[in-house]
């Protein structure tokens, strides 16, 4: 796996864990927490949403779903 792909997957997992730990968070809060642009975070959120791991109850706010996930650290 390419190093850039590995970094992306690690960031996506970290974003998921951050949302799970902090409850409902905004895209801006995630961008600030991870030192990324809102567009980069939005791409990560799209991957998580596509896999039904997060949902957006309000525009720009994100929370985890009830889907069971096994996270390896």
Q: What are the chain's domains?
A: 1-62 (1.10.10.10)
Position 73 scores a pLDDT of: 67
Instruction: Give the residue among 20, 6, 2 at the shortest CA–CA distance from 71.
Output: 20
Three-state SS for 15?
helix
Q: How far apart are CA 26 and CA 63, in angstroms?
A: 9
At 27-47, the pLDDT tens digits run 999 999 999 999 999 999 999
pTM for the predicted model, two decimal places: 0.89
- Whether the Cβ atoms of residue 26 and residue 36 lie closer than 8 Å to each other: no
């Amino acid at each position: 796996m390419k190093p850039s792909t590995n970094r992306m997957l690690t960031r996506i997992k970290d974003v998921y864990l951050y949302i799970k730990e902090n409850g409902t968070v905004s895209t801006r809060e995630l961008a600030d927490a991870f030192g990324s642009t809102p567009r980069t975070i939005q791409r990560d959120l799209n991957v998580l949403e596509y896999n039904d791991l997060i949902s957006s109850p309000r525009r720009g706010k994100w929370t985890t779903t009830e889907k069971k996930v096994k996270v390896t650290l």
